[in-house]
Every structure is written in structure tokens, then in C-alpha cells.
Amino acid sequence: MLLSATVCHARSVPPLEGLEALRKGFGGISDFTAEISQEKRLSLMKRTMVMTGTVRFRKPDLFYMELNPPFSSRMLLRDSVIEQAGPGGGERNRIMLPPEQGLKRWIAKLADPVTSLPEGVGMHADLSGGLYTLTITPAGKGQVKALTISFLEDGTIRRLVISEQNGDRSVMTFKKLRRNVGLVDKDFRLE
Amino acid sequence: MPPPTAPRIVSWVHNASCRHLEWIFRVTTTRPRLVMCAFLVALALSGISIATIRFDTDIFHLFPSQQPALRLLLDSLEWSGSAGEAYFLLEGDNRALPREAGRFAERLRQARVDGQPAFRRITWQVFDENQAGPFNNLMAYAVAHPQIFIAPGDVQRFSRHFETLEVDASLHRLQSGLAGQFGGAMTGLAAADPLFLRDLILPRLKAGSQALDLDPSSPYFLSRDGKVLIMIAEPARPVQDMIFARKLVAAINEARAGAAVSISCAGAHISAVLDEQAMKSNVLISIFSSLLVVLGIFYAAYRRLLPTLLIPVILACGVILALGTAGLFISSIHIISFAFTALITGIGTDYSIHLYDRFHSERAAGKNTEEALRLALLNTGHAVFTAAVTTALPFLALGVSDVRALSELGLLVGLGVVFSLYASLFFLPPLLIFMERRYPVVYRPIPSLGLRGVWRLATGRPGTITLLTLLLTSGLCWAAFRTSFDGELKNLQPRHSEAFLAQERIERHLSLSPKQMLVALEGTDLTDVLARAARVEELAGRLQARGEIMGWSSLGRIINGPAAQAEVSRLLRSRFADGTHVAQRVRMQLERQGFSAGAFSPFLDSIGRFGQAAPVNGEEAIARLAASPLRGIVDHHLVKDGKGYHALIYLHYRGDEFRQAAFLAELRAIDPASRATSLDLVSHQLAEAVEQSFIRAFLISGTLELFQLMAHFAERPTGIFYSLFPVIAGSASMLGAMVLAGMKLNFMNAMVLVTILGMGSDFGLYIRFRVCADAPDVREAQFVQIGRSVFLSALTTIVGFGSLAFTDYGAMSSIGWATNLGVGFTTLFALVTLPAVMALFASRHR
């Protein structure tokens, strides 16, 4: 009985509340850096890939990720354009996302209070000991099956899970997250 | 001995003209009601004929489509469908462009015409999630069939990708890529091509896929300078459906209302509707403004209301009867040709001026109504008749032109001139008789408008005036030799039309090169067509190597032709003779690096088949491309229709460094059945057609006009000189003045050289015809009377053409300016130089 009284159980909260919590928490963040560890389970690979690295983010549309060896690579998302550089900065790869999936657009959506759920997506929210877990499931036949983001009330992201239609799954865990450190343009360069 | 045939004909024509005018005088003065009834019947019949005429708006229909270059240009527009596409240019804050483009695209998708979607397709962004699968399929096919997609020179690099170290490096790169990817966007592509063979294929596909010069880093169709975002849409119905086109433009205007960025549009639908609107507005403004000014001039000079009000009736009759008669010969009239009937306002008023001025002058001189009318109709009327015929002939002679714009213009204006003359001859006498009975007035002398002073000056200093004329003409003649020809068709379009300006901006911001030539190889057998295209591609390669062209695109730049495929297949067979072993080794390397080799089975199987590589049927390769996101490349470069296959090669060039004549000769030697087109070639061939039309019309109208002048001046042959001198000197001066003003001849205003001959010869004719007395004071009075008519006629002609000069249409404006200069100089020489020449001749005779 004593134990059950101290364990924090996850309870469902209205999705709108979860989304608003994310919005509010994110509202106070202009940039952040963090260390990450990532686990990727891909149909092309026999074993789960485990990797570490760092990420940087700056509003409204910059996201940078650098992975450590043996999978060393760097990735820069500038709104809807992803640039990837291989080991040693060798081959560059550029991928263009659909404009409506651009980072700026998502961040802009977080600028105003959320009064209704976005159309075309399913949403589920849990709250457990101050940790929100928001699961977004886009409708339609897109590549992403579900996106789960876990975050604290102050906007600190803890975990990001991307599940795909083909069974592939990535789990990214954030550590040592530092907010509003004053990141500048040179922190978002692939060179 | 009977007189020779020519003089007999001349004499017969002269007498017939006089008898004809006498008949008109008789019938109009004795049976006016019958005349009115006959005219009403003719107008009713014309109305029926006009109802059968179709008014055409397609600009390309103005030019002779049997010209090879224009024919191919029209074919290619039809094939590519670009003739029917609508282009939207979004300009403004480049951060706002994507957002506004998204909004606008959504509004266009929602736009409806008659309850149906207005557009079939709207494209404005590079990415389309639905295309990822087909793209991966194409890559899987391409790496399995390198003989189609790898250039022969790249086979060595291709085979190096399969060396042990290279495979390891590629797989390491793949691992990093998969680890670093956000989501699983590249998983499908990785399975299709784990060794990055696409590095040899994609640059080639990319180079061949660009029809516009776009920013490669942008997910939108954005110009490299980031200033313009282009959206391409396919309207639901063809441009020929003008009712749909008008509703479409209304829907577009609604969709772009309130946008935060500037949105302009181009394309056939928009151009047709906006040009039609611009044309209608231009024509209406021209007609009404020139009519108002012409009526104002007439009333100011003669102060009689009813004759002034008769002028619009005469002009309307001229236009209606001309259109009705033209409808008997042609089933459709282009709207631009129709616009030129505005010229009748200026020319058609001349006859009323001459007839009424003579009548009024004679009445003021004391003649009774019948005598004044007889002199006006039979004496001045004879000159008017000859002048109208000499004016109409050059216009009608243009009817033989192959260029539709010119033939219809000539026919309509020529007939309009003739019918305006007859309307003047038939309507004016009954009206004047009616006025005399109903509203009798005391006729006072009409102001001389300064012409008495002109006569005295010219006859007082004939030598000086003649010398000054010669100096002026010589100077302008010298300048005229520097006349140049402007072959740019776009300069004939409305200069401020939205469609025209948007098209210009597309060329400035998004064109791969300033100019483009299209070469078509056609036939029923695809393999043969592609093989022939490959020979032209070799030639294009040499041109690029020599720096004559900036680049070129064709299907052969993307997929190999039969010969190149055979070569690549031979090399693959020799390098992958043990392909099964290579596949086995790659499989082991995949396993060793932690990959699940089973996921790569199709790729590994294809390696095993490289040892038996053989050329692939062209149709299969093209079908694969057509099923991928690169379908546009196929559509752009290969067309199949009822006549067979058309392989299209585009050569991009800057200007004169591309020696087109030499290229075309070489092309004919390689493939005599090939066709080529470019705007330069179209302009060149049109210039030739216009030149031929010009020479033909000049010879026909010149001969007939000379004959008519000989008939008119049968008893006074010097009249031919008097008629022709002002117009010849005026035409040369017109060309010289155009050079000095920086104006050039073009396809349309070149014809003014023909028509000015007819219009300008009238002035000298009238003066020589009328100024015939021996007594100096009578000669002066005669000059003042006819000079005033000539001056007012020239003024109304200038007003008629002047209204064109200020229109937005380059074609009409250039004609307006050229004619105004020509008429202006001709009037100057007729009113100032001719009296001086007369005085010189008179002093010699004395």
C-alpha cells in the first residue's frame, strides 16, 4: 500500500491540454542544446543501431544534429530543407521536405494558444509525475505512423519516438538539455 | 489610225468615271428615297453576312502557319501542352512567398467554373510525398539497367563502385546516412541502391529535367535570385473556349484578391482574355476619341450640324458594308485585323470634307444649290473618286499577302474606304438639298486657315522653298538608309498587358538561356527516331564544345540511344563476366556490416545479370521514365501522336555566337527530314513573307494606281508628278524621321510604305486637279479652297491614325506613328512645296 502510494501512475489527460502544455513550455525557449542517445530499429539492419551525439535548436527553423563515431554524420534542418554530411564532411545529401512539414510552420503553430486539435491527426496525451507524453498519429498513408514526444512542464524534451509504417522505429533520448544558451549562426553550419 | 490600246483604256476609264459620277448625281438628287432604301437593303444583307463571321483571338493565327518554323513552333506548343498552361508569378518578400503560394494554390484548387474545378493540376513545389515510391522504383530499375542510364564514359567509375574497398566505404556511408536520417525517408532508396550508384545517374537526370532555371536548394519553383516563385496550372478546358477563359480569369482574379504578395499571370487563356479586353478597350477608345476629334474639326471648320452628324453615319455604313462584303470572302476575321477598321474614321471623313468644302465655297461664291452641288459632285467628286480608288488599291493589294494580319487589314480598310466614298457620294447630296429647303442659311466664306499666307509665301519664294524641300528630303533620305528592321514579335504585343509583362519576367528570372532552338526528329519507328536524334545530339555536343550554344537537352541526355546502349552493354559484359561472384561478395559485405542482406535481394540479383547486359527496347526505358516523377522529361522531349514519334532536342543559346545558318545546313546534311524552329527563325521567315507581300502589294497597287492617275490626268499628265512627288518625298522623310526618333520598321508598319502611297498621293492630286486657273487671284482662291480640304483631311487622317499611335499594342502603335509621320510630311510637301513648284513652272512658261 505504501509502495502504491509513492509510485506515480501515468494518467490520460485531454490532448488539447497536452498540446497546450507543450506550447506553453516551448514558449519560453528560444534555443537549446542537448546530448542525445538514439536507438534505431530498421528493417534493413539485423540489429538495432545505437548511437550518441548532440543536438542544437534555435527558433524559428534551425535544427542541427551531430552523431559520434562509428556513425559519424551531421544533419542540418533549415525549415523544410535537410542537409546531411557524411563522415569527414564528405558526401553531402540534400532532402526537401514538403513545405507544409517545414519546421518554421510547426513552431509558428506553437505561438498562439491551442484552442482546437489540428485536423487530420490523432492525438493522445499522458501525464506522469510532471512528464507529459504526447502521441501524434497522422492520418493518411504517409511514412510516419506515430510521433511520441515526452517533455516536462518547462518545455524540456526528454524523449522523441518516431514509428514508421514499415515497422522502423527510432527512439531519441535527450540528456543535459540546456535552454536559452544564445546559439548563433555558426552553431548551425555543416562545414 | 486608231489610238494605241493603253491610252484607249485610260480614256475609257476617265469617261466611265465621269459618267458614273453623273449617274450618282442624277439618282441622288432626283430619287433620294430609292437611294436610302437601297442602302438599307445593303446594310441588312451586310448584317446577315457579319453574323456568319467568326472573330478569332489567337495571336498565332495572324501569321502564315505554313511557314516551317512557325508550323513546328505551333506543333510543339500543342504537343507539350504549354500552349494551354497558366503561369502565376508571385513576387514580394521571399519569406512570405511560400505561405502566400500555399494559400493561393488552395484557392485555385477551390476555384470553380460552371460548378466544375477550374484547374486540373496545380504545381508549385518540388516535393511530392506521393512521388517517393515511384522515384525509388525508377532508381531500382536504373541501377539494374545501367546500359540505359550510364554514359559509356562512366562505365569504369560504375564498375569501381563494386570493388571491395568501395563497397565497404559505400556501406559505411549508408549506415551513417540511415543513422542520421530523421525518420525513414531514405530506407526505400537505400534498399534499391545501397552502393550509391545513383551518384552516376542522378546528375544526368537532373541536368535533363530542368526546363526552368530554378534555385536547386529551394523546395519550391523559385528563381535563383529568390525573387520570383512560379506556379504552373493546367486549366480544365482549352484556350479556344473563350467563354471558359473569361470565367477562368474572373476566378483567378478572385483567388488572388487580397494576397500579401504580387501575383501576376501569363499563359494562353490569360493572354487571350486580357489581350481581348485590352484590344477592345484600345479600339473603343481609339474609335470614339478619334471620332470626337474628327467631328470637332469638321464642325469647327464649317459650322454646320447636320453634315457633321452625317459623318458617323457614313463611317458606320463604311465599316458595316466592308465587314459584310469581307464576310463573303472569308469565314473568320482576327480581332486585331478588325481593330484596324478604326483607320476608316480618319480616311473615310476626307471625302465628306472635300465634297462639302467645295459645295460650301461655291455657295458662298454665289452659286445656287444645284450648281454648287454639281461642281462638288462632278468636279471635286472626280478627284475624290480617283483619290479614294488610289487609297483603296494599296490596301486591297495587301489582300494577296500570306500574312493574315496584313491581308485582312488590307481587305477591311480597302473596302471600308470604297464604301465610305459611296456613302459620302450617296448621302451628302440628298442631305444638302434637304438642308437647303428646311434650314436655309446664308453661306459665308470659310476661314482660309492660313493657307492664303502659305500660298503667297510658296509662290513668292519658289526657289527657296524648293531648295529647302530638297535639302530636308535629302537629309532625311540619308538618314532613311539607316533604317533597321525589328523582327521581335513580342514588340508587337500590348506593352502593358499583364500577360506580356509576366511572360517577360519569366524570361528574365527563370529562363535557362535568352534564346532557344527546337529540333524535331520524327517517324513511326521509335528506335529509328532515337537513333536519328542521337546523331543530332552529337552535333549539339560539338556546338556546346565550340561555345556556340550554352547547353542542350534531349532524351538522349537522360537515357542512352541504341548505339550507346550497345557500347555500355559490351563494357558491362566484359567487366561483370563473373557478376554472380560479385553479387555474392557484396552480399557477404552487407552481412558483415550488420545489414539484413535479404532486404537487398533485388539489387543483388541485378548485379548477377550485368554479365549478360544487352540493349533494352527504347519503349520500355521510356515507359519506366514516364511512370516515375520524371514523366515531365519524357513529355518535354518525346511526343507520340497519330503521326508517330516526335523526338525534340532543345538548344539553349545567347545570340549571334550561334551560327544558325551553318547549323541548319549541317542538320539538313545529317537528317534531311528534321525540322527546326526558334523565335529567331520564325521572325526571319515572317520577315521574308512580309517582304514578299510588300513587294507584291507594291507592284500591284503601284501599277493600278499609276493607271488610275493616268486616267485621271489624261489631259494633264504633269498631274502624275504632282500626285506622286509629295508622297515619295514624304515616305522617304518618314523613314528618315523614324530613324532619327529611334523607331524601327517591323512586320506591321512596313506595310505603311504601301498604304501611304495610296493615301498620300491624294493630296497632290487634289491640288493639281483644282488649281488650274490662269489668273493668279483665282489660282490663289482655288488653292485656299482645296488646300483647306487637304489640310483638314490630313488632320482627320492623323487623328484616326494618331489614336492608334497611343494604343498599348506595339503592332498598332507602330503603324500609327509611321503613318502620322508619312501623312505629316506628305501634307507639308503638298501644301508648301507644290505651290512653289507650280510657281517655278509658271515663271519658266512665261
- Across the A:B interface, residue pairs with CB atoms under 8 Å apart total 111
Residues 151-170 of A with CB under 8 A from B: 162, 164, 166, 168, 170
pLDDT higher than 60, residue B699: yes
- Contact between B417 and B392 under an 8 Å Cβ cutoff? The reply is yes
Q: In terms of residue numbers, what domain contains A179?
A: 10-183
pLDDT at B512 over 70: no
Do B222 and B151 belong together in one domain? no
Residue A50 located in a structural domain: yes
Q: Is residue A5 part of a domain?
A: no
Indicate whether B404 and B463 sit together in one domain: yes
Q: What is the largest CA-CA distance in chain A?
A: 59
- Looking at the fold, whether B377 and B247 belong to one and the same domain comes out as no
Q: Residue A91: inside a domain, yes or no?
A: yes
The arithmetic mean of pLDDT across residues B654-679, rounded, is: 91
Bond from prior residue into B602 cis (ω within 30 degrees of 0): no
What residue in B sits closest to A37 (Cα-Cα)? Answer: B179
- Residue B613 pLDDT > 60, yes or no? yes
d(CA B1, CA A179): 121
**ipTM score assigned to the predicted complex:** 0.85
State residue B58's pLDDT score: 67
pLDDT of residue B542: 92
Over 80: is that where the pLDDT of B18 sits? yes
Cβ of residue A52 closer than 8 Å to a chain B Cβ: no
User: Is pLDDT above 60 for B127?
Assistant: no
Single residue among B503, B523, B543 that ends a domain in this structure: B503
Per-residue pLDDT band for A132 (boundaries 50, 70, 90) equals: very high
Residue B230 shares a structural domain with residue B206: no
- Domain check: are B226 and B280 in the same one? no
Q: For all residues of chain A together, what is the average pLDDT?
A: 83
The answer on B397 and B344 residing in a single domain is yes
B191/A44 CB distance under 8 A: yes
CA distance A50 to chain B (A): 9
Distance separating alpha carbons of residues A134 and A26, to the nearest angstrom: 14
Say if residue B188's pLDDT is above 90. Answer: no
Q: Please indicate, yes or no, whether residues B431 and B287 belong to a single structural domain of this protein.
A: yes
- B72 and B51: one domain? no
What's the pLDDT at B285? Answer: 81
User: Within this chain, do residues B90 and B157 fall inside the same structural domain, yes or no?
Assistant: no
For B392-453, what is the HEC assignment?
Answer: HHHHHHHHHCCCHHHHHHHHHHHHHHHHHHHHHHHHHHHHHHHHHHHCCCCCCCCCCCCHHH
CATH of the domain at B37: 1.20.1640.10
Do the Cβ atoms of B752 and B369 come closer than 8 Å? no
Which residue bears the cell 477563359? B245
Burial category of B401 from C-beta neighbours within 10 Å (exposed 0-12, middle 13-18, buried 19 and up): buried
Confidence of residue A2 (pLDDT cuts 50, 70, 90): very low
Query: Considering its fold, how many domains does chain A have in total?
Result: 1
Residue B285 lies in a domain: yes
φ and ψ of B582, to 5 deg: -60, -45
Q: In this predicted structure, what is the pLDDT of residue A6?
A: 42
User: Concatenated DSSP letters for A110-151?
Assistant: TSS---SPPTTEEEEEEEETTEEEEEEEE-SS-SEEEEEEEE
Specify the higher pLDDT residue, B215 or B460: B460
Tens digit of each residue's pLDDT (9 = 90 or more) over B475-502: 999 999 988 888 777 777 777 777 777 7
Determine the average pLDDT of the residues in B809-833.
Answer: 88
pLDDT at A60 exceeding the cut of 90: no
B537 lies in some domain: no
Checking if the pLDDT of B1 tops 50, the result is no
Report yes or no on A4 lying in a domain: no
Taking contacts as CB-CB distances below 8 angstroms, the residues of chain B near A38 are 179
Q: Which residues sit opposite B652 in a β-bridge?
A: B516, B551
Q: Is residue A118 part of a domain?
A: yes
Cβ of B176 within 8 Å of Cβ of A73? The answer is: yes
Task: Tell me whether residue B650 is in a domain.
Answer: no
Instruction: Judge whether residue B625 has pLDDT over 90.
Output: no
Residues B575 and B603 in one domain: yes
- Look at residue A66 and tell me if it is in a domain: yes
pLDDT in the model for residue B846: 56
The structural domain count of chain B equals 3
CATH number, domain of B83, equals 3.30.70
Read off the CATH number of the domain in which A49 is found.
Answer: 2.50.20.10
Shared domain check, B39 and B20: yes
Average of per-residue pLDDT across B414-418: 93
CB B261: neighbour CB atoms within 10 A? Answer: 19
**Phi-psi label, residue A156: left if phi above 0, alpha if psi -120 to 50, beta otherwise:** beta
Asked, for residue B547, whether it belongs to a domain, the answer is: no
Map grid coordinates 551553318 to a residue. B662
Q: What is the pLDDT of residues B261-285, one digit of tens each?
A: 889 888 777 877 877 777 777 777 8
Is residue B527 situated within a structural domain?
no
Query: Is B512 inside a domain boundary?
Result: no
pLDDT band at B736 (very low <50, low <70, confident <90, very high): very high
Q: Confirm whether B595 is domain-assigned.
A: yes
Degrees, nearest 5: CA angle B585-B587-B590: 110
With beta carbons under 8 A apart, name residues in chain A contacting B218.
81, 96
pLDDT score of A26 more than 90? no
Report which DSSP code applies to B610. Answer: G
Amino acid at B370: E
Q: Report whether the peptide linkage leading into residue A70 is cis, meaning its omega lies within 30 degrees of zero.
A: yes
Which of B765, B771, B774, B777 has its CA nearest to residue B835? B771
- Judged by average pLDDT, the poorest of B329-338, B422-431, B439-448 is B329-338
Given this model, what pLDDT does residue B5 score?
63
Question: Residue B240: pLDDT band by 50, 70, 90 thresholds?
Answer: low
Residues B280-317 pLDDT 10s = 777 778 778 888 888 898 898 888 888 898 888 888 88
B750 shares its domain with B836: yes
Is the confidence at residue A5, as pLDDT, over 50?
no
Alpha helices in B119-257 (DSSP H): 132-144, 146-149, 155-160, 164-180, 187-192, 198-209, 242-256
Looking at residue B208, what is its pLDDT?
A: 67
pLDDT of residue B360: 92
Query: What does the pLDDT read at residue B655?
Result: 82
- Which of B266, B245, B249, B268 has its CA nearest to residue B257? B249
Evaluate if residue B635 carries a pLDDT over 70: yes
**Does B175 contact A71 at a Cβ distance shorter than 8 Å?**
yes
Q: Which residue has the higher pLDDT, B537 or A141?
A: B537
Domain with B288 in it: 5-58+274-492+683-845
Comparing CB atoms, the residue among B185, B219, B596 nearest residue A45 is: B596
Best residue in A36, A40, A44, A72 for a mutation probing chain B (most B CBs within 10 Å): A44
Is position B471 within any domain?
Answer: yes
Question: With contacts defined as CB-CB under 8 Å, which chain B residues touch A73?
Answer: 176-177, 179-180
Per-residue pLDDT, averaged over B402-422, amounts to: 88
Subunit contact A96:B132, Cβ cutoff 8 A: no
C-alpha cell at B223: 528563381
Spatial separation of the C-alpha atoms in residues B785 and B765, rounded to whole Å = 14
Smallest Cβ–Cβ distance between B220 and the set A38, A99, A166 belongs to A99
For the stretch A61-70, contacts whose Cβ atoms lie closer than 8 Å and that sit 24 or more positions apart, written own/partner, are A61/A102, A61/A103, A61/A104, A61/A107, A62/A103, A62/A183, A62/A188, A63/A103, A64/A187, A64/A188, A65/A36, A65/B180, A65/B182, A67/A38, A67/B176, A67/B179, A67/B180, A70/B175
